[in-house]
Chain A
Amino acid sequence: MLDAMIIGAGPAGLSAAISAAQHGLHVEIVDEYYQPGGRLLGQLHQEPDGEWWNGIEETEKLLEQIESLHITIHCSTSVYDLQKVNKKWVTYTDQGNWESQAVLIATGATESPTPIPGWTLPGVMSIGAAQVLTNVQRIQPGERGVVIGVNVLSFAIARELQLAGVDVAGMLLPPPHLLSKSEGVPQEVLSSLLRFSHLAPSVLMHRGAPFVKGRLAKNLVTAFYPEKGMGVWGIPLQLRRTALEIKGKNQVEGIRVAKVNRKGELRNAITHDIDVDFVCIAGGLSPLAELAAIAGCKFIHEDALGGYVPVHNEKMETAVSGLYVAGNITGIESAKVAISQGTIAGLVIAKSLGARMINGKINEALQEVESRRAAATIQFHPHVISSRESLYKTKKTQ
């Protein structure tokens, strides 16, 4: 029997395995993908100091430690159930079952789809799919495409596509409907963009950022936003254009776009078509938490964390004994935060199973999460910190 089974070989799962094994635990990792690293692998962006955050190199650093600690990773292994049987956890996979004293679920996130007419055509893909193709698998998603959905993730990946020689003909808003919500409203999108203006070397974005606080200021910035869009790294960022329909017979051939007003409403539906051979849909991320649900966790809905998250505390403990969570399953944040959450989980699991450790080791790891969260280059939601504080307070009083 294992001390701990770790589900997910992304940044959280790998770092948890490392800190647990460093304290003498026998842990193993399962992951559905054919190589470890999770979605850290595809990440590539420039930090404010000019340094590149290269997900492949960061993964290699973690894997070096995994190797030196002799931790086994079972890739291409899908978990389909998780149950406590006779006080032991059983992880059921398509490659057999494993028993363990504790389980860490570090399954990360999933992309929220934004359905648009024509979106089932070959050549339409999620923005994350394009990232994996481009940076990990090294094949272009197409020659010329558009990105539908303007958010921190699509912004970063549009840049990555461009670095790999792909022509990004524009970033557009999704059509206004129930699922796209505020993502189809130029004012809302612009104000969210200004939060990560440091990623975009553009005058208006830098000038706009300090003024974004008030509603009036936000309206002014949107009012002055050029109707035809503006170039960010040479990519037309078109906050006044919405994607109506993806066109093509057997695959993507073009996209029909319409002008919208500042509220995102269609204005007399003046449309035109753009020739593209691929389309990326970026609907944002939400925690991938089904396994926590079948294992008996309670859930709470937090917009700032990306949707439903299993109830947990800052030590990554759920309310279910022996069950832990770390990384994006606890809320959508950067890989750096996920890595330090994993470290906490590994330490807390080790301590719960009687491992000896230096006093204050866990507190140190808790502080690391907080400082990384505060310094995050890519912050997915402005209220992540306050949302986490209130979640952890709720958990304490339960």
Chain B
Amino acid sequence: MNKRIYTHPILENLSTNEEISFSFNSETLSAYKGDTIATALLANQIRTLRYHEESGSPRGIYCNIGHCFECRVTVNDYPGIRACLTLVEEDMVITSGKKLPQPLKHGGEENA
């Protein structure tokens, strides 16, 4: 579970935010204004942002500050967008990268 931290013993309380809606892999979800794509999805308990192009293994955020590019997603048909650096916007359409076909690998055998 990835819960929001509304109250904190030292830091100020999280002020309730304006809700916005967006879609991820065709599912309509809501988030707070000011969320990145990554935190918007975490708040919806979604950790997998993409599947590795070759192995198909699930990937989520790793560094969360734009260095590692593990969190890249497609936003409004624009690929390679870092979910950790990009603020979610109303009606944004986000999709995950999928495992790509590998016609030349292992003589072209499917799933070899």
Contacts and interface: CB of A to CB of B under 8 A. Distances in A.
Partners in one complex: yes
B63 A111 contact: yes
Chain A's interface size range is 35 or more
Interface in A99-158: 110-111, 113, 120-126, 128-130, 132-135, 137-143
Contact of B63 (A76, A125, A140): A125
Interface size of B as a range: 35 or more
B10 A163 contact: yes
Contacts of B36: 34, 137
A9 B70 CA distance: 23
Given A142-B1, A163-B8, A277-B1, A126 B58 contact: no
B48 A122 contact: yes
Contact of A139 (B42, B48, B57): B42
A143 B3 CA distance: 8
B72 to A, nearest CB: 13
Contact of A251 (B10, B14, B48): B48
A56 B11 contact: yes
B60 A123 contact: yes
A174 to B, nearest CB: 16
A312 interface: no
B58 A34 contact: no
A165 interface: yes
Interface in B52-85: 52, 57-68, 70, 84-85
B48 A250 contact: yes
Nearest to B4: A139
B47 A140 contact: no
Contacts of B1: 140, 142-143, 277
A54 interface: yes
B14 to A, nearest CB: 5
A111 B58 CA distance: 22
Contacts of A251: 47-48, 58, 60
Contacts of A56: 11-12
A165 B5 contact: yes
B47 A122 contact: yes
Contacts of B47: 122-123, 251
A294 interface: no
Contacts of B28: none
A33 interface: yes
Given A122-B60, A132-B65, A139-B42, A33 B10 contact: no
B43 interface: yes
A250 B11 contact: no
Shortest Cβ-Cβ A-B pairs, 6 listed: A122-B60, A129-B64, A122-B47, A138-B5, A137-B39, A138-B14
6 contacts: A121-B58, A125-B63, A133-B42, A139-B5, A141-B2, A250-B48
Given A34-B87, A250-B48, 6 more contacts: A129-B61, A129-B63, A132-B65, A139-B3, A139-B5, A140-B2
